[in-house]
Amino acid sequence: MSNDRQLTPLDTIVSLCKRRGFIYQSSEIYGGINGFWDYGPLGVQLKNNIRDDWWRSMVECAPLDENGEPVHIVGLDSSIIQNPRAWVASGHVGGFSDPMIDCRACKARFRADHLEEYDCPRKPSKKAGAHESCDLTEPREFNLMFETFVGAVKSDESRAYLRPETAQGIFLNYKNVLDTTRVKLPFGIAQIGKAFRNEVTPRNFVFRSREFEQMEMEWFCHPDESEKWMDFWKRERMRWWRSLGIREEHLIFRDHEADELAHYSKACVDVEYLYPFTAPKYGELEGIAHRGCFDLTQHGTHAEMKLDYTDPVTNERFVPNVIEPASGLTRGVLVLLCEAYTEEWVPKEGVEGGPREAVSGESTPEGYESRVVMKFAPRLAPVKVAVFPLLKNKPELVAKAREVFKELRQHWHCFYDQTGAIGRRYRRQDEIGTPYGVTIDFDTLADNTVTLRDRDTMKQERISLDELSGHLAGRLAS
């Protein structure tokens, strides 16, 4: 599939998310709050599935090194609020800011370094600063950290910050991990958690928000091996994103130019995705940064504590270099929603043939109807199996369907539905991405078989109830 394929507009994704319970505007009954989002029943399940897959791939079943041995990565869950001195050492207090511009005429606010991306709120539609009446201020720096106060008295001494990234909690616990787990270099510390940035202009749904979740891993290694591990983690991170079912041509690497690098970085490469709101350009999904020894050196200096490492074989002492794969979990959710959304033409009842992708601008072919289907990889789908009695007014079918549902829900997140025509129930599950439907009919009562329906092909087959769980286990692992 080429990049010429029409991408689903973001508005369509947002509408589906609200309609089907993936993502809601936070505090919507009060008019919402810009830059904050709530994940509904399906959204939280999808987010947790991505999170768990990342954790398993990075910690529980870490990748193999060049010798075929698993690399060593341990987990961490650090606090959201840390000693404010940590943010002074990391450079966030003095340098974590964006250039901000205000328009005195319309009162809109923009990021100065992305001014060409914004539309002026005035009509007719023009870019920010393009109207004759636009009156833009000079750029000024705007610190992105949220302030809070710890304790009963609000003062400079009690000022603290909500963390803008999860990485610093890892660096602060580097020595604790060394002292308590007996790890040896090279090794990694992984963490998933909330981060907060007071973005000047949150936009593009959950792509840029003020509260989000990160999946980060800090890989500590000898300075002489840092380039090798940088290449290793580039390969591994791209491999993982593709394993989620993302089209190969929708993902690219982009190396940062020298003037883009963060002050601590020796090098950085982004995994970028072809978002509908950036096309034909790509936008950031994950950054893989060579942080050198900046963080451990800074914290060691500010805390007056040695954070170097002694090689147990050579007795060499050095400050490890760090390779950091860091991605947004909430951006991962958005990417999977964009990838999964599919509009198809499917044959009406009695018409032979299978589903085929709808062509933009063309009318539905005779004998076909349209459907929306979310083609999540089965292991990531929010709901894995839906169970239906063929008829809700037949107690014997309902009782058997409830029995099957109770058994399957011991293994997977399942959904039970007995309302409406069976075809309509299938369509509802297609639109939330459920890979398989199990229908209990009168033949089930006679021969203990059920109809198993595949979401993508819409094909149906008879499966013995004795074999159903084993049959699903293999298919839902992909």
Residues 106, 75: one domain?
A: no
Compute the distance between CA of residue 320 and CA of residue 296 in angstroms, rounded to an integer.
Answer: 8
Among 338, 360, 389, which residue terminates a domain?
A: 338
Bridge partners (DSSP) of residue 287 are 270, 326
At residue 251, the pLDDT reads: 97
- Domain with residue 407: its CATH number is 3.40.50.800
Residue 425 included in any domain: yes
Query: Which range of residues forms the domain containing residue 436?
Result: 380-476
For residue 44, give the CATH number of its domain. 3.30.930.10
| DSSP assignment string, 243-304 | HTT--GGGEEEEEPPGGGS-TT-SEEEEEEE--TTTTTS-EEEEEEEEEETHHHHHHHHHHT
Q: Note the pLDDT of residue 2.
A: 39
Residues 130 and 176 in one domain: no
End-to-end CA distance of the chain: 21
Residue 246 lies in a domain: yes
Same domain, 392 and 259: no
Contact 99, 142 (CB under 8 A): yes
Cβ atoms of 283 and 328 within 8 Å: the answer is no
Pair (159, 174) in one structural domain: yes
Domain boundary among 322, 338, 354: 338
Residue 186 preceded by cis peptide, ω within 30: yes
- Do 240 and 254 fall into the same domain? yes
- Which residues are within 8 A (CB) of 451 and not within 5 positions of it... i.e. 6 or more apart? 437, 438, 439, 441, 460, 461, 462, 463
Task: Let me know whether 75 and 117 are in one domain.
Answer: no
Q: Which residue stretches of the chain have pLDDT < 70?
A: 1-5, 94-100, 107, 109-115, 118, 138-142, 263
82 and 217 share a domain?
yes
Both structure tokens of 291: 């942080």
Amino acid at 302: H
| Crossing angle of the two packed helices 329-340 and 41-55, in degrees rounded to 10 | 110
CA 124 to chain centre: 36
- Judge whether 10 lies within some domain: no
Q: Is residue 101 part of a domain?
A: yes
Q: 51 exposed, middle or buried (CB, 10 Å; 0-12, 13-18, 19+)? A: middle
| 208 and 305 fall within a common domain | yes
Q: Tell me which residue of 379, 390, 381, 387 sits closest to 465, measured CA to CA.
A: 387
pLDDT digits (tens, 9 = 90+) for 465-478: 999 999 999 999 98
Instruction: Find residue 464's DSSP bridge partners.
Output: 449
SS3 content of the chain, % helix, strand, coil (to 5): 35, 30, 40
Nearest CA among 65, 127, 71, 72 for reference residue 101: 127
Last residue of a domain, one of 307, 338, 369: 338
Same domain, 107 and 251: no
Q: At what angle do helices 10-20 and 329-340 cross, to 10 degrees?
A: 100
Q: Is residue 38 part of a domain?
A: yes
Is 18 a member of any domain? no
Alpha helices in 81-219 (DSSP H): 85-90, 92-95, 167-172, 174-181
163/246 same-domain check: yes
Alpha-carbon distance 116 to 306, whole Å? Answer: 46
169 vs 163, 175, 189, 295, 339, CA distance in Å? 9, 12, 10, 11, 32
pLDDT of residue 131: 75
Amino acid at 315: N
Burial class for 72, CB neighbours closer than 10 Å (0-12, 13-18, 19+):
middle
Spatial neighbors of 152 by CB under 8 A, at least 6 apart, are none
- Structural domains counted in the chain: 3
Statement to judge: residues 206 and 271 lie in one domain: yes
Whether 64 and 176 share a structural domain: yes
Q: Does 460 fall in a domain?
A: yes
| CA-only gyration radius of the chain, Å | 26
What distance in Å separates the CA atoms of residue 427 and residue 355, rounded to the nearest whole number? 13
pLDDT tens for each residue of 303-346: 999 999 999 999 999 999 999 999 999 999 999 999 999 999 99
210 domain-assigned: yes
Burial class (CB in 10 A: 0-12, 13-18, 19+), 254: middle
Q: Across the beta sheet with 414-416, what order do the strands follow? A: 414-416, 385-389, 436-440, 449-454, 460-464
